[in-house]
A and B are shown apart, each in its own frame.
Chain A
Amino acid sequence: MNELLKNAIDWMFAPTRYFLGSVLLLAAVFYFRKVVSRPIVIAAVFALATGFMVWAVRDPNFHKIITKGDNIPIVILLASVVFFSWLALRQAVIHDERKKRGELGPEHELGKQKVFTWPDLVYTEFICILLFTALLIVWSIVVAAPLEEPAASARTPNPSKAPWYFLGLQEMLVYFDPWLAGVVLPGFIIVGLCAIPYLDPNPKGNGYYTFEERPFAWVFFWVGFVLFWVLFVILGTFLRGPNWSFFGPFEFWDVHKLEPLVNVDLSTYVWVYGLGRNLPTNPLVREAPGIIGLLGFFVVIPPLLGKTLLKGLVGRMGFVRYNVFMHLLLWFALLPLKMLLRWTVNLKYIVGIPEWFFNV
């Protein structure tokens, strides 16, 4: 029974199911947000998670990974992201419900009152600091900081992992080459975050929790932060073992686990499988299908949507802002797109010019 359950969980956590399951869960959370935002739900989630941990930690493989010193923060990250997402959603639901009834939301009601910084704010800060100091001291005494063997540049550990907060980027290496996953896309994340205040044309929801006044912004950030960033960090930490192969939570990290490499470039699909001939020698001709496809993606989609579905948005944002917004969004969409193509048709590169280190 135990083994069956463990195997089922290992099966469930394969990247495709893990990711698509998370997407469905997120959609359900937003759709059923009135139910989800009840306190009993979060209490049940944490009770279940605690029960799962107590049961799972007796498994030697699970125990080994979860109790690594540097992995404890990731458990804290997961728990706090779940809790605070719920807390935010709850307050948003309360605000939206009250607004529908023509009442003031909690922030609007309390925002008119002013209180003295001393004692109201100072005491909250003081208690937070006190609790956190206690937590840090206990944690430092109980768990030793990891220290492995002295550095040896001749012995490469397998797996070699970046610090945990960058494991989301390392996980992106499965789908993109380093120049995209490690340089260009992180650069776009930073630029995109900076651009948010200048690209959001919605004046509502400034200084209070609300979902219904800015649904796109909320869904966008939950997808970007919770679904991609946090879940990728967890995937990269707990479910990626030697050779960056996938391992279920209860699976032994076997160095010899083989995953067949069957990925095929788009150019091979078109020239060899589609047209039944050899690959052209000129890389630009060879990669023409991918290049045309990418150009179409970036050049055709923004004006096409701007003329049709998003006409109102162009009017509100103006031409330049709309285009910056669309291009950032399309770069973001490139990741799930590539993931889907990899999972469904084993696509390796849309454009693959290894001669120039230019692979997309």
Chain B
Amino acid sequence: MQKLLQAVRDTQIWRSIFRHGYPDTPRNRTLAVLSNTFLHLHPVKVRRSGIRLSYTWCMGGLTFFLFLVETITGLLLMFYYRPTAELAYQDIIGIREHVALGVMREAHRWAAHMMVITVWLHMYRVFLTGSYKPPREFNWNVGVILLVLTLLLSFTGYLLPWDQLAVWAITVGSNMARATPFLGHEGPGASLLSFGGLNFVHAGDDARFGLLAGRFVGEGALLRFYVLHCVGLPLAAATLMAIHFWRVRKDGGISGPL
């Protein structure tokens, strides 16, 4: 058995993938991190204080992990879901009743809720350890935008089942946009933007209309939210995450006393 394993490790295929031995020596441990695309997000060595679970709560890492879970389960769900007013609800029923291993919607939804919680707790931890202080000010800002994106991702996804819960939650949420100062038709200042009794800002062109592609939550809103949920927001989040992780490294790794 030992010999067989050794023979596998000596093949050209194995050695083309792993360019070091088992990571139990300092040299190999260094190489394990340096020569791996994903692990090299980490430095080779880290402060002992920074990697304790009681310090980081692992919340940032878990948020990223949940983002990956959402990507994978979301991709599977996209095979079965069509974002139109006639088909959306029917497809959701189908995902529950007819698809083998039909818990992907559950996994997607619960992971999404957990991601909102972990991202809040991550912010909480970063604040309480003062990790936004110099030199990490900029990365805190990237984090705030990522937190907002997480909420928007969850909000756009909330509409897709196209049931009473979804449509009315988005109606309540998007009604706020009506009251945007100057840009919503029920917002302060909007009535000032008129010319000869003609309102420039009305229900047919205000901020809410732009968000929903209509005067109410309908087919246009469904498509708009679907595209944002599956393509637009994940791309933005992934880009900012790359910046966020890179800046963690550049700003000195997991925070610790200076």
Contact = CB atoms under 8 A, between A and B. Distances in A.
Interface in B35-55: 39, 42-55
Given A116-B26, A118-B29, A147 B256 contact: no
Contact of B255 (A108, A148, A206): A206
A210 B84 CA distance: 53
B42 A121 contact: yes
A299 interface: no
Contact of B161 (A109, A133, A147, A160): A147
Contacts of B46: 114-115, 117, 120-121
Given A115-B45, A140-B103, A156-B168, A194 B144 contact: yes
A354 to B, nearest CB: 10
A261 interface: no
Nearest to B50: A111
B87 to A, nearest CB: 11
Interface in A196-216: 196-198, 200, 203-210, 214
Given A161-B172, A178-B175, A207-B257, A124 B163 contact: no
Indicate the member of B69, B124, B128, B190 with the most A CB atoms within 10 Å: B128
Contacts of A136: 69, 107, 110-111, 114
Interface string B217-236: 11000000000000000000
A166 B155 CA distance: 9
B237 interface: no
B44 A113 contact: no
B141 interface: yes
Report, as a range, how many residues of chain A touch the other chain: 35 or more
A129 B60 CA distance: 12
B163 A151 contact: yes
Contact of B106 (A129, A143, A153, A161): A143
A107 B50 CA distance: 8
Given A77-B117, A88-B128, A151-B167, A137 B29 contact: no
Interface residues of B, number: 101
The prevalent SS among residues of A at the interface is helix
Nearest to B89: A150
A179 B187 contact: yes
Interface in A122-161: 122, 124-125, 128-129, 132-133, 136-137, 139-141, 143-153, 155-157, 160-161
B164 A149 contact: yes
Contact of A190 (B144, B166, B186): B144
Contacts of B162: 150-151
Given A81-B121, A136-B111, A197-B141, 4 more contacts: A143-B106, A163-B169, A194-B144, A198-B137
15 contacts: A77-B120, A107-B256, A111-B50, A118-B39, A120-B46, A122-B39, A128-B65, A132-B114, A136-B69, A136-B110, A137-B107, A147-B96, A153-B216, A179-B187, A181-B176
5 nearest interchain CB pairs? Answer: A182-B176, A197-B137, A140-B106, A178-B179, A110-B49
Interface of A: 69-70, 73, 76-77, 80-81, 84-85, 87-88, 91-92, 105-111, 113-122, 124-125, 128-129, 132-133, 136-137, 139-141, 143-153, 155-157, 160-166, 169-170, 177-179, 181-184, 190, 193-194, 196-198, 200, 203-210, 214, 217-218, 221, 225, 229, 356-358
